[in-house]
Amino acid sequence: MTVTIIGGGVAGLAAACTLTECGVKVVLHEAAKAAGGRCRSYFDPMLGCRIDNGNHLLLSGNYAVMAYLARVGTLDSLTGPVRPVFPFVDVASGTHWKLRMNRGRLPWWVFSKARRVPGTRTSDYLALLKLRKAEIDDLVAPLVGGTGALYRNLLEPLAIAALNTPPDVASAAPLRAVIAETIERGGAHSIPRFPKVGLSESFIDPAIDWLMARGADVRLGSRVTDLTPGAKTILAVPAWVAAELMPSLRVPNEHQAILNLHFKCRIDPGEAGFWGLVGGVAEWVFAKGDILSVTVSAANKYAEIENDVLAAKVWADLATAFGLGAEIPAHRVVREKRATFAATPAQLRLRPPTRTADPNIMLAGDWTDTGLPATIEGAIRSGNAAAMAMLTGY
C-alpha cells in the first residue's frame, strides 16, 4: 500500500512516521519549501538569527508529543524547568511570583500560600472542579467565575494560552481536556517544556531525516491542487485548504490570530526560561539566548494596530517586568492571522472526525475532532489517528 500525505506540518509528519514505521510506503507533499507549517523556525535577516514563527509551550503530560519526539530521536531537544513551576509577573503592580505545583496527583500546593497564586485562598481552586463537568456549550469565563485573583492571574492566562480564544466566548470543554491530562494528573505531568534551539530543530527537520532514511518520499515545494480519485490519501492541510480540496467537508472557519514579537535582547532566563505576564499586552515571554520573545494570543483584537505601536506597548511591559531601558531594541513582529480556529462552541461543532465519506481519504490536523484545543499535541494525535485508520480501515 502507498499512502499520499498532503501537508508537512506536525500532523502530516506524525501520520507519515506512524505509517513508515508500519512498513507502508509514504509520499508526503508539502507546499512550502520548508516543512513545519505553523510550527517552524527560519532565519530572520534583520535579527541575524533563527527564530520560531511563534513560541510554543508544551507540558510534560503531552504524551503524544513526547512519543513523537522519542521516535524521531529528539526528546532531549526540549528544555524548561526541572520542576512544575510557572513564574509570573504582574506588569500593573510589578509583582513577581511563582506557581509551584507538587509532583503528585494530590494537589497539596493549593494549601500552601507560598506555592499558590498570591491573593487567592485554597477554596478558590474549587473553580477548577467546575471545569471537570464542562460541556461544549459551557463558556470558560462564566463557568469558572470570571473575576478575582485566581481568574485574572491564572485561569484567564491559562485559558487564553490553551484555547487562543477570549474566555468569554471560548468553550470550556477543550480546556477541561487539557487540564484532565496535565494539572489533574499532578505536577509531574505539568512541567513546562519548549525547544532548546527551535521548533524545526525539534519537530520538523529530524522527522524528515527520519522518514527519508526509511525510504519515505518527501516532496517539499509540492502544492497539491486536486485529489487523485481512488488514491489512499491523508489530508493534513489547514482546514480551509481541506475544504477547497474536498468541497463536501464542513470545517471550522473562524480563526484567531497569535502575535509574536521577537526583541534582540538578552536577559537572565531565570529558573524556567519563560514567564507569564498579566496586566499588560504581553502574555508569555521566553528568554532564548539573544532573543526575548513575546506571545500574545487571541489577538484578532490587535488586527488594526500597527506593528510599531504594538512593539512599543509590549516593550513597555517588558521594561516594567524586567527593569529594562525605555529604548526599543531591534525587533520583528510576526502575525499568524489564522493561528488556530476559534474554540467557540459553534466552531467546535464543525470539527470533522478522522474518517470521511470516502474510505480512501482520512483527515489530520489540529482542527479535526481530537477533543483537544488546536495544539501540537492535538495535531500529532490527529496524524497518528489518521495513520491508524488507514492501516486498519477503522
Ligand X SMILES: Cc1cc2nc3c(=O)[nH]c(=O)nc-3n(C[C@H](O)[C@H](O)[C@H](O)COP(=O)(O)OP(=O)(O)OC[C@H]3O[C@@H](n4cnc5c(N)ncnc54)[C@H](O)[C@@H]3O)c2cc1C
Binding site for ligand X (CB under 6 A): 6-12, 29-32, 35, 37-39, 53-54, 56-58, 223-224, 236-238, 241, 258, 260, 336, 339-340, 365-366, 374-377, 379
Q: Which is nearer to ligand X, 3 or 110 (CB)?
A: 3
Smallest separation (angstroms) from ligand X to the CB of 179: 15
Q: Which is nearer to ligand X, 85 or 207 (CB)?
A: 207
CA distance 231 to 224: 13
3-state secondary structure of 325: coil
Smallest separation (angstroms) from ligand X to the CB of 119: 26
The answer to whether 175 and 163 are in contact (CB under 8 A) is yes
Q: Which is nearer to ligand X, 251 or 374 (CB)?
A: 374
| DSSP summary character for residue 157 | H
Q: Which is nearer to ligand X, 57 or 110 (CB)?
A: 57
The answer to whether 386 and 354 are in contact (CB under 8 A) is yes
Q: Which is nearer to ligand X, 11 or 140 (CB)?
A: 11
Q: Which is nearer to ligand X, 39 or 150 (CB)?
A: 39
Smallest separation (angstroms) from ligand X to the CB of 94: 26
Sheet holding 25-30, edge to edge: 217-220, 25-30, 2-6, 233-235, 361-363
Smallest separation (angstroms) from ligand X to the CB of 70: 17
Smallest separation (angstroms) from ligand X to the CB of 196: 15
Closest CA relative to residue 152, chosen from 282, 277, 325, 284: 277
Q: Which is nearer to ligand X, 214 or 223 (CB)?
A: 223
Q: What residues contact residue 156 under an 8 Å CB cut-off, 6+ apart?
A: 141, 167, 278
Smallest separation (angstroms) from ligand X to the CB of 373: 8
Smallest separation (angstroms) from ligand X to the CB of 336: 4
Q: Which is nearer to ligand X, 5 or 127 (CB)?
A: 5
What length is written for the chain? 394
C-alpha cell at 31: 507546499
The answer to whether 4 and 29 are in contact (CB under 8 A) is yes
C-alpha distances in Å from residue 71, one per residue of 20, 64, 209, 210: 11, 10, 12, 9
Smallest separation (angstroms) from ligand X to the CB of 149: 24
C-alpha cell at 235: 489530508
Rounded CA Rg of the chain: 21
The answer to whether 252 and 347 are in contact (CB under 8 A) is yes
Smallest separation (angstroms) from ligand X to the CB of 86: 14
Dump strand ranges (E) for 177-307.
Answer: 192-195, 217-220, 233-235, 255-264, 274-278, 284-288, 291-296
